Amino acid sequence: MKKATLIVCTILILDQVVKFWIKSTFYMGESHALLGQWFYLHFTENEGMAFGMKLGGNYGKLLLSLFRIVAVIIIAWWLYKVTKKGAGTLLIVCISLILAGALGNIFDSAFYGIIFNESTYQQVATFLPATGGYGTFLHGKVVDMLYFPIIESHYPSWMPLWGGEEFIFFRPVFNIADSSITTGVLILIFFQKKVFTPLRESGTTENPITNP
């Protein structure tokens, strides 16, 4: 369990340190190239679901935040359970990465609306402003800053619907927490046999839904 705790705490602290720095020093939309035209720090905020999608206004935002909290509880329980069952290191690392990323984004949603005022194109947000934050508990925005426009081109003119329009890979702006979740999930998907073999050998196939 110490290994899982170390992974979760390290990623969570790193994620929040970067987000605090970006939120308190960047204007909304501010961008700085770090690796030529391939990697930018580009400040934006995600008001709801992945890739900036929203879910039914304030009530949808609250529902999404509560769903995230429930998901984190399930993931944390799963991590605790497989650790006690003697799961392999790779499975523990994967679940820890997913848990750390989920916690990082939940922290934004839960508290950033309270501890920061609004970031705008003319104003850098202030930590614990005297006039209060821009939102309430569970109504904060998730801070994103990692942008990798590795390929910038245009769709062929003959292509239906998008012909001639700009094409960028990779367009979404994300954060360390998102990266942590994605890494954990991809390892689980592409290395299933190696990840779950120790559990199968011990006669246990852990799943937080079907094996309570």
Any idea where the domains of the chain sit in the sequence? 2-29+48-146+173-201
Q: Which residues are known catalytic residues?
A: 144, 178
Six-digit token string for 41: 């720090």
Task: Give the per-residue pLDDT at 52.
Answer: 47
Task: Give the per-residue pLDDT at 210.
Answer: 45
């905020």: which residue's tokens? 45
Alpha helices in the chain (DSSP H): 2-25, 57-84, 89-107, 113-115, 176-190, 192-201
Task: Give the per-residue pLDDT at 61.
Answer: 75
Per residue in 99-153, pLDDT (tens digit) is 999 999 999 999 999 999 999 999 999 999 999 999 999 999 999 999 999 888 8
Calculate what percentage of the chain has a pLDDT beyond 90.
60
Annotate 32-68 with three-state secondary structure. EEEECCCEEEEEEEECCCHHHCCCCHHHHHHHHHHHH
Where b means 16+ CB within 10 Å and e means fewer, 33-62 reads eeeeeeebbbbbbbbbeeeeeeeeeeeebb
- pLDDT bin (cut points 50, 70, 90) of residue 167 is confident
Calculate what percentage of the chain has a pLDDT beyond 70.
88
∠ CA 37-39-41, nearest 5°, is 115
Q: 197 versus 125: which is more confidently predicted?
A: 125
Six-digit token string for 105: 């984004």
pTM of the predicted model as reported, rounded to 2 decimal places: 0.84
- The CA–CA distances, whole Å, from 65 to 140, 152, 163 equal 9, 34, 38
Residue 174 half-sphere exposure toward CB, CA atoms < 13 A: 16
Per residue in 6-24, pLDDT (tens digit) is 999 999 999 999 999 999 9
Residue 42 half-sphere exposure toward CB, CA atoms < 13 A: 16
Across the chain, mean pLDDT equals: 87
